[in-house]
Amino acid sequence: MAKLLLGIDIGTSACKVAVFDENGAVLAQSNQPYKVYYPKPGWAEQDADEWWKAIVDGIRDCLSQDNVSPEDIAGIGVDGQSWSAIPVDREGHVLDRTPIWMDTRARDICEEVKAKVGEDEIFKVAGNDFLPSYSTPKLLWFKQEKPEVYKNTYKFLQSNSYIVYKLTGKLSQDLSQGYGLHFFNMETLSYDGALAEKLGLSVEQVPELYYCDQVVGEVTAEAQSLTGLKAGTPVVAGGLDAASGTLGAGVYKTGDTQEQGGQAGGMSICTDRALSHKKLILSAHVVRGKWLLQGGSVGGGGTLKWFKQEFGQNESFDDLTALAEKVPAGSEGVIFLPYMSGERSPIWDPDAKGVYYGLSFDKTKGHFIRATLEGVAYSLEHNLRTAYETGVTVDRMNAMGGAANSALWTQIKADVTGKTIQVPASDTASTLGAAILAGIGCGVFKDYDEAVRNTIEIKKVYEPDMKKHEIYKKYMEIYLELYEDLKGTFKK
């Protein structure tokens, strides 16, 4: 009997489902899209039941492959986007759409809470600033703006914990997603009931905590009938998509760093202690005993996807990057601020806007494209510079996400940051990370050393061109100045 592992990734635009063997080879995979709803300015919502429907379709698609049998799946892991607030009643019914990580509707609530409770007191426990993107302000928003939903909510769930519930009937809260709740103590990895009370909430509103590789339950008969999975298949708690992808990119030891090139951008630095910075994000890693100091930016691979959609509908991504390759480093002064839906770390400005600066009659489409790639690299460098303030060092990064498939974009990131970037063989890092968690929890792997050694291989290495790095250092300063000069205008 084969020991296969099923990984599920709940992304922003689609879910990904993949089946892996013990060596990390993909035997089957499926992507299923769903909607993001934008009912008001600053709002971004998704329907958790639409996630579940897409995942059911994705699992059925994978199980239809000749080389995959439900009986051979040893375990299931689920990772998902951060900072959900899914209200469910005692029967597990979803009571409303969840605001997702891009949602900033709770801005006023954040200011009120920080004035009342004190942002330093919150930060001391949570290791993260009290900002509208996180789960806690969204819980308070439901309490204030939708009291009937709030009253009827038994538990607020995260993206992966909702899917784990649909598979097993068991409620859970994994440690890596705990950082979205500001009454979760980032050092002790436990709930702080006293702070929850000061915030006007209760630890009873969230489920019991689980390690990310801990088995929560087994696939139920009902889930079997919907998905085709075998009833009794173990399901682990899973975790945060960025943390799962970090593991799937081979980053699990202290000092290792992941560079994220999905819809969003950013980086995750693996540490052996809760090392916080007010302008960055701190979460537990999905690997026990490790934490991640993260930078999470809005403008990642989604920026080029947007550009293609609006200005290159009949061109492939390779066509677009070929145009960018003809333009020298620095795009001859064209600079892009990739703040396409406000911006997260390190500026945390929901009013920030995307900007192309430095246009003139001699500039071409290639300049726009290269500036787009460079702007995302500048945002990565901005987060890294902020992280260095804590004393961490970064020697090299392992890249993940669709953007890692672009040789030009990855080289630009290496040149801008001055760091070596390694690209693992798998471009399914998040689902692989989820599958590894399942493999640990179900005994397919004895430890993370074995899991990473067996499943992850570096396929390409990009060394920085230090001459271009010096050019980019000059433009990086202009990039930083542009935001400082424009941030007052953005607020208008």
* Residue 472 to residue 478: CA distance in whole angstroms: 10
* Residue 212 to residue 174: CA distance in whole angstroms: 5
For tokens 């489920």, the residue is 207
Q: How confident is the model at residue 405 (pLDDT cuts 50, 70, 90)?
A: very high
Amino acid residing at 56: V
Per-residue confidence (pLDDT) for residue 126, from 0 to 100: 98
Other CB atoms within a 10 A radius of the CB of residue 401 amount to: 22
Q: Number of C-alpha atoms within 13 angstroms, CB side, residue 58? A: 25
CA–CA–CA angle 340, 343, 348 (5° rounding): 165
pLDDT tens by residue, 451-483: 999 999 999 999 999 999 999 999 999 999 999
Say whether pLDDT at 426 is over 80.
no
Q: What stretches of 190-332 adopt beta strand conformation (E)?
A: 190-191, 209-210, 215-218, 234-236, 239-240, 257-261, 265-271, 281-284, 291-297
Considering only CA atoms, which of 34, 38, 40 is closest in space to residue 11? 34
Say whether pLDDT at 413 is over 90.
yes
Question: Residues 6 or more apart from 231 whose CB is under 8 A from it?
Answer: 218, 219, 220, 221, 223, 224
* Residue 260 to residue 424: CA distance in whole angstroms: 12
Say whether pLDDT at 2 is over 80.
no
Considering only CA atoms, which of 23, 19, 1, 22 is closest in space to residue 9? 19
Give the least confident one: 38-52, 417-431, 433-447: 417-431
pLDDT tens by residue, 69-80: 999 999 999 999
pLDDT tens by residue, 198-252: 999 999 999 999 999 999 999 999 999 999 999 999 999 999 999 999 999 999 9
* Residue 69 to residue 82: CA distance in whole angstroms: 31
pTM for this model (two decimals):
0.93
Pairs from 221-224 (Cβ < 8 Å, separation ≥ 24) = 222/169, 223/166, 223/167, 223/168
- How much of the chain exceeds pLDDT 70, in percent? 100
* Burial of 358 (C-beta count, 10 Å sphere; 0-12/13-18/19+): middle
Q: Which CATH class is domain 4-241?
A: alpha beta
Q: Establish whether domains 4-241 and 250-424+458-492 are of one fold.
A: yes
pLDDT tens by residue, 136-185: 999 999 999 999 999 999 999 999 999 999 999 999 999 999 999 999 99
pLDDT tens by residue, 325-340: 999 999 999 999 999 9
Q: What length is written for the chain? A: 492
Per-residue confidence (pLDDT) for residue 152, from 0 to 100: 98
Q: 64 is written with which tokens?
A: 């239809």
Q: Which helix (H) or strand (E) holds 378?
A: helix 365-388
pLDDT tens by residue, 298-353: 989 999 999 999 999 999 999 999 999 999 999 999 999 999 989 999 999 989 99
Per-residue confidence (pLDDT) for residue 388, from 0 to 100: 97
Span 376-384, average pLDDT: 98
Whether cis (ω within 30° of 0) applies to the bond prior to 346 is yes
Radius of gyration, alpha carbons of the chain: 22
Q: Number of C-alpha atoms within 13 angstroms, CB side, residue 103? A: 29
* Residue 5 to residue 70: CA distance in whole angstroms: 10
* Residue 488 to residue 204: CA distance in whole angstroms: 41
Per-residue confidence (pLDDT) for residue 1, from 0 to 100: 63
Per-residue confidence (pLDDT) for residue 262, from 0 to 100: 83
Q: How confident is the model at residue 401 (pLDDT cuts 50, 70, 90)?
A: confident
* Burial of 279 (C-beta count, 10 Å sphere; 0-12/13-18/19+): middle
Q: How confident is the model at residue 425 (pLDDT cuts 50, 70, 90)?
A: confident
pLDDT tens by residue, 115-142: 999 999 999 999 999 999 999 999 999 9
Instruction: For domain 250-424+458-492, give the CATH number.
Output: 3.30.420.40
Across the beta sheet with 257-261, what order do the strands follow?
A: 281-284, 291-297, 265-271, 257-261, 396-400, 420-424, 458-462
Alpha-carbon dihedral 424, 430, 435, 440, rounded to 10 degrees? 80
pLDDT tens by residue, 275-289: 999 999 999 999 999
* Burial of 301 (C-beta count, 10 Å sphere; 0-12/13-18/19+): buried
For tokens 């537990």, the residue is 284
Q: By three-state DSSP, how is residue 18 classified?
A: strand
Question: Residues 6 or more apart from 275 whose CB is under 8 A from it?
Answer: 282, 291, 293, 390, 392
Cβ–Cβ < 8 Å for 8, 440: no
Annotated domain spans of the chain: 4-241, 250-424+458-492
Cβ–Cβ < 8 Å for 434, 77: yes
Considering only CA atoms, which of 220, 231, 266, 236 is closest in space to residue 92? 220
Considering only CA atoms, which of 200, 19, 180, 195 is closest in space to residue 86? 180
Alpha-carbon dihedral sign for residues 27, 212, 252, 395: positive
Question: Residues 6 or more apart from 227 whose CB is under 8 A from it?
Answer: 55, 56, 59, 60, 63, 167, 219
* Residue 400 to residue 267: CA distance in whole angstroms: 10
Q: How confident is the model at residue 254 (pLDDT cuts 50, 70, 90)?
A: very high
Q: By three-state DSSP, how is residue 308 classified?
A: helix
Per-residue confidence (pLDDT) for residue 111, from 0 to 100: 96
- C-alpha distance across the termini of the chain, in Å: 63
Span 353-365, average pLDDT: 98
Say whether pLDDT at 6 is over 80.
yes
Per-residue confidence (pLDDT) for residue 11, from 0 to 100: 92
